[in-house]
Each structure stands twice: as C-alpha cells, then as structure tokens.
Structure 1
Amino acid sequence: MGFDPTTLRRDDYGFFGPGSPSWKVWTSPTAVIGFQRAVVLEHFDPFLTAAVADSQGIYSDPRKRLDNTFAYFLLVAIADGRTAIQASEHLMQVHAPMTGIEPITGKRYSANSPETQLWIHITGWHSVLKAYEVFGPGLTPEEETRFWEECAIAAELQTCKPEDVPRSREEMRAYYERVRSRLCSSERAEAGMHHLLRTSPRNGAGLSYALGSRVLSLASSAITPMWMRKLGRYNVPRVVDPLVKIPARLIVWAFTLFGSFGLIKAAPFIAPMAGQILKQHLKNEPPTTLETITPARARELYSLRGNTIPAVAEAS
C-alpha cells in the first residue's frame, strides 16, 4: 500500500476524531474478529468471489493480502485525511485491472463496481460493530446512530453510490434483505471462505497465522447468521456459540486492560502493517490541525488524481 506508519496523523484528526464510535470500534481487539467475519462473508457475492479467485492473492500470500485490506479499513477510520484519501486512491488503482467474466452468471465483474464496493464496505463496518457488541463493551444508542453516519462518510472513499449506503441498523438490515437473492455459494467461494477460516501454514502464511485463523474462526462464526454458515458449509453447531463467547470476552477484556499493548505485540505475527498503524494511533500524538475534515475537502487538498472518484466499469 505504500503506507508510512510514521505519518499516520500529520495534518488533522481525519474524518471522525477522538472519542468517535469509529475510533472505538476499529481500534478495539474485537476488530480482528469482525475483520475475519467480513472477509469470509464477502465471498457470498459471486462477482467479488470471481475477482478474489482470479487474482489468487489470498492463496499466494494470505498474510500480506489480508494485512493490506485490514490496514485500509483502519486508515479510513483513524488516519488523517491525506493518508486516508491517498490509501483509497491506491486501492482503486490496485482494483482497476481486476475485471473478467463471472462464471455463474456469465456477466462481467469489476472489483471497483459500486455494488461490489458497497458489499465490501457494509460487511466490513457491520462485522466489526457486531464483534464489538458481542465480545466488547458495545455502543450506546447515541453512539450507534453516529457510527452509521460515520460508516456512510467512510463509503465516500469508495465507488459506492451515496443513496445506496445504509445509515442506520434498520437500513443495514433492509440492505441485506435486498441483496440476499443474489448471494450464493460455489466451489470457488467455499474454497475462499474455508481458506480464510482455516488458513494453511503453506504459501507464506506461516504456522502462527494459520493457528490464529483457526482460533479466530470460532469467534467469527459465532456471530455469523446460521443461514450464512450453512450456505458456506462452515456450519458450527449453535450449541458451540455460547461456549466460545465467554472465553472470547475474557480475552478481549485482558487485551483492553493493557491498552491493546498485547494486540500490538501480537500483530507482527498476524498483520504487521495494521499493527504499526495501531501503534502510531496509541501514541496519541496531536496533528497540526486539531480538527476533523470531510472526505470531499481531503480529496480537494490531497488527491493525487484530482477531485473526483474515477469512473469504473459496473458489472453487467
């Protein structure tokens, strides 16, 4: 991604700032659980599955591929406007050549299409919120209202259509109902999901990462709807869920006691770049301007591509 972890917050407080629900949720140890849930659920979109399967990134170098993705979500949530905007532009550039034919529908896919980007965005933000609610302290009703407002702001960095972005829990549920008819599984989707839940130590993942994925999968599966688990054929019996939730809450509580210090120490074995971002965040060094900024203003000031999101080819 070309991110320099020493410049996380040079200009401003980014889009949300201290005390925001986004800062709380995305920097909690529970975000790791939510992130695994999100990247697994992404495979229910056949167009995204085609992009992932054709690129082979999660198989050839799973640690780097997932670390880059997690780092992007963190940068949008907690970095300054300059870093977040330039990270989003870099990501779109990486996605731009990822086009092809989706074999189930026979339609063309594009990794940068608004529908695909919205699915990635919503599964990411909703999953970390769900993990924060189940395994962490959760948000107050007022904080949750603000969280969904911030989720919509973050979506401005992707190609999502603003009118399609949910702005409340009710709208999020309506979104899932709306897209459910086009969600499906396949051999390639199952291969991707099972690989992310039980990563092989081969292909550069390493033993620590492989073990970590298996431990996390118990918690991330416990907060996944049963119909999704059955569709993806990673159905963990419902009776296991409460047995997982109690020790998971205790582990999260232990990490929180040390201000995520333990999480940062563990990060090099799981997600090195994300760990560096969290480390810089916890230093709490103030930016030049003690204010937040909008994505539109940040793009105007710092974009390397002009003040517009480039047009992309939609799946058709």
Structure 2
Amino acid sequence: MSVTSDVGRSQAAERPDLGLFGPQSVSWRVHAEPILWLAGLRALYLQALHPRAVAGVVQNSDFRRDCWARLMRTAEYVTTVVYGTTDDACRAGERIRRIHEPLRAHDPDTGEEYRIDEPHLLRWVHVTEVESFLSTATRAGVRLTADEVDRYYAEQLRAAELVGLDPAIVPASAADIAEYYRTVRPELALTPAARDVARFLAVPPMPRRLSWTIGRPAWLAVSSTAFALLPRWARRLYRAPGIVTTDISATFAVRGLRSVIGVLPIREGPIYRDALRRAEASVADQG
C-alpha cells in the first residue's frame, strides 16, 4: 500500500460528509422551501385513498391522540434524510425499518393479514410523498426544468432504498410517476377509514398554545389548500369537484402562502443549518 493512497484516503475521510444528496442536488433546493409542510398534508390525503395503506395506519397507531408529535417526527425524518450526514440518514432509515418490520394489518374487505412494509405499500407511500413535495414546490413558484424534475425523482430513489424498497421498482421520472398513478388508481377508494382520516386532517385538535379562534381558521385554510392541490382524480374520489378552476385557485393560494412565509422570521432547523455549515466547509476545502 502506497503512502500516496494512504494520504488520499485520509484527506477523503476528513472532508465534510454532505449526505445522500449534497448542495448541488435538486433535493436540497426543493426541500429548502418551508411550503413543503403543505405538501406533507397533501401526501396524507393521497395516502388515505389506498385501502390497505390507510388500514395499516388506523390499525397500528393512535394518530388522533399524537397527531402533532407524529407530524413533527415525520418532518424531522425527511429533513434528516435530505440534509443529514450519510450516517444520520442511514440510521433514520434503519429506525423506520425496525418500527415497521413487526407490524401487521388486516385487509378491510377480505380480512387477510398483511405486512405494512410490503413493497407495494412502501412504494405507494414513497411516490405520494415525493410527488407531493415536487408538485407543491413547483406550483408554489419554484422553477424547475423538466430535466431537474426528473433528477429530483431519480435522487429520491436513495430515500426509497432507506425504507427498504428496491430502487428498481420505484418510479424515477415524471413520466414514471404519471404511469404509476395510472396503474394504481383502480386500487384506490374512499373507504370509511379514508373518509375518517380526511375529516381528521381537516379538523384536528389544536395544540394548547393555539387558541380555537386563531388556530382553527388558520389550519382550515392550510388543509383546504392542501386538499385543493390534489390531482383532479383524487379529489373526485373524495366526492369533491375535480375541475380546472379548483386547480387554478389552489395554485394562486399556494403561491400566496409561499410569499407570506417568505417574509416571516422563520428560523431554519439545526439539521438544515448544520448541512449548510458542512457545505461551506466542503467549498473551503476545495479552495
């Protein structure tokens, strides 16, 4: 073994770990948008339309009691995967796999027992999440080329792999996503559990520090906008109008929300700030 190779490995080991994506990725650019909180809610509305997916949630969690803590944990997980170090992201994925592995649910129609981490369900959750993130960001005004949109979906294969998915079966472009939705739609339905979850998402219990007067109207505005951002076919499944004017109004609403958020004194979280420090250190090392 040469001294040169030893030095090269030592220098590589000392370089800041930029995680699974890094500052040049589309993922870093998209997930820097605070408006993606709205995308997470949109994804939940979508996910509830899959009978087995929503049954798995209802039968294995008390989401009504700890909804806000659950939302925060999910947001922290996504932030860790996108902006954390490689080790942080891998450990977060391992925790998720460990939590899911023993969980089972029963099909609401047949009574058949199934694993909630079966690839078919994991893929549905992954696709609805990344498509919600991407579509919400672009409709809010984040400008991405068609190539950048496809790059985002391809980058997110790394996130899919963390939860136990084989990247080979995961849609990795805008065309793949559209085709996936086309093929999965016959499986979707407005079950009683889906209707219950949607109702809860629209009117959840407010945290104590938010009064009914202030918190409830604000949340209703957010949840109704998230719902309006759903694809037309999804709104129709919810027995809501799937018309073009709703799409136009939702786009104006989400752009307005992004503008408002942009002037608020929002402080970035520690995971994001640490990612920026590592990126700056990496640039300094290269210089």
What TM-score, normalized by structure 1, do the two folds share?
0.75
Query: Counterpart in 1 of 2:259?
Result: 253
2:64 matches 1:59: yes
Q: Given the alignment, which residue of 73, 76, 83 partners 2:81?
A: 76
In 1: Cα distance, 2:58 partner to 2:113 partner? 14
In 2: Cα distance, 1:205 partner to 1:58 partner? 19
Q: Which amino acid aligns with 1:78?
A: Y
Alignment of 1:174-193 (within 5 A): 174-193=179-198
Instruction: Tell me if the contact between 2:154 and 2:172 (Cα under 8 Å) persists in the aligned partners.
Output: yes
Q: Deviations over 1:185-207 (max 9, x none)?
A: 21111101221133233899975
Taking a change above 3 Å as real, the CA distance of residues 236 and 175 of structure 1, as seen in their structure-2 partners, is closer
2:9 matches 1:17: no
Taking a change above 3 Å as real, the CA distance of residues 76 and 252 of structure 1, as seen in their structure-2 partners, is same
Structure having greater relative contact order (Cα 8 Å, sep ≥ 6): 1
Q: Which amino acid aligns with 1:152?
A: L
Query: Counterpart in 2 of 1:305?
Result: none
Taking a change above 3 Å as real, the CA distance of residues 243 and 288 of structure 1, as seen in their structure-2 partners, is closer
Q: Given the alignment, which residue of 99, 106, 111 partners 1:106?
A: 111
Query: Counterpart in 2 of 1:124?
Result: 129
Q: Deviations over 1:114-150 (max 9, x none)?
A: 1111111110000010001111223122322211210
Alignment of 1:161-200 (within 5 A): 161-200=166-205
Query: Counterpart in 2 of 1:242?
Result: 248
Taking a change above 3 Å as real, the CA distance of residues 181 and 241 of structure 1, as seen in their structure-2 partners, is closer
2:78 matches 1:94: no
Taking a change above 3 Å as real, the CA distance of residues 25 and 195 of structure 1, as seen in their structure-2 partners, is same
SS in 2 for 1:285: helix
Q: Deviations over 1:85-124 (max 9, x none)?
A: 1111111222223212122232223221111111111100
Query: Counterpart in 2 of 1:225?
Result: 231
In 1: Cα distance, 2:177 partner to 2:249 partner? 28
Query: Counterpart in 2 of 1:46?
Result: 51
Root mean square deviation of aligned Cα: 2.8
Taking a change above 3 Å as real, the CA distance of residues 141 and 239 of structure 1, as seen in their structure-2 partners, is closer
After TM superposition, which residue ranges in structure 1, 4 or more long, deviate above 4 angstroms?
A: 202-212, 234-238, 278-281
Q: Given the alignment, which residue of 286, 291, 307 partners 2:278?
A: 286
Instruction: Tell me if the contact between 2:45 and 2:227 (Cα under 8 Å) persists in the aligned partners.
Output: no
Q: Which amino acid aligns with 1:214?
A: L
What TM-score, normalized by structure 2, do the two folds share?
0.82
User: Considering only CA atoms, is the larger Rg found in Structure 1 or Structure 2?
Assistant: 2
Query: Counterpart in 2 of 1:216?
Result: 222
In 2: Cα distance, 1:105 partner to 1:66 partner? 31
In 1: Cα distance, 2:242 partner to 2:217 partner? 18
Instruction: Tell me if the contact between 2:83 and 2:272 (Cα under 8 Å) persists in the aligned partners.
Output: no
SS in 2 for 1:176: helix
Single out whichever of 98-107 and 81-90 deviates more from structure 2: 98-107
Taking a change above 3 Å as real, the CA distance of residues 204 and 176 of structure 1, as seen in their structure-2 partners, is farther
Q: Which amino acid aligns with 1:220?
A: A
SS in 2 for 1:58: coil
Q: Which amino acid aligns with 2:261?
A: F
Instruction: Tell me if the contact between 2:130 and 2:156 (Cα under 8 Å) persists in the aligned partners.
Output: yes
Q: Given the alignment, which residue of 144, 149, 160 partners 1:144?
A: 149
Structure 1, unmatched stretches of 5+, are 1-9, 266-274, 292-316
Taking a change above 3 Å as real, the CA distance of residues 277 and 199 of structure 1, as seen in their structure-2 partners, is farther
Single out whichever of 209-218 and 125-134 deviates more from structure 2: 209-218
In 2: Cα distance, 1:112 partner to 1:253 partner? 38
In 2: Cα distance, 1:120 partner to 1:204 partner? 31
Shift of 1:280: 4.5
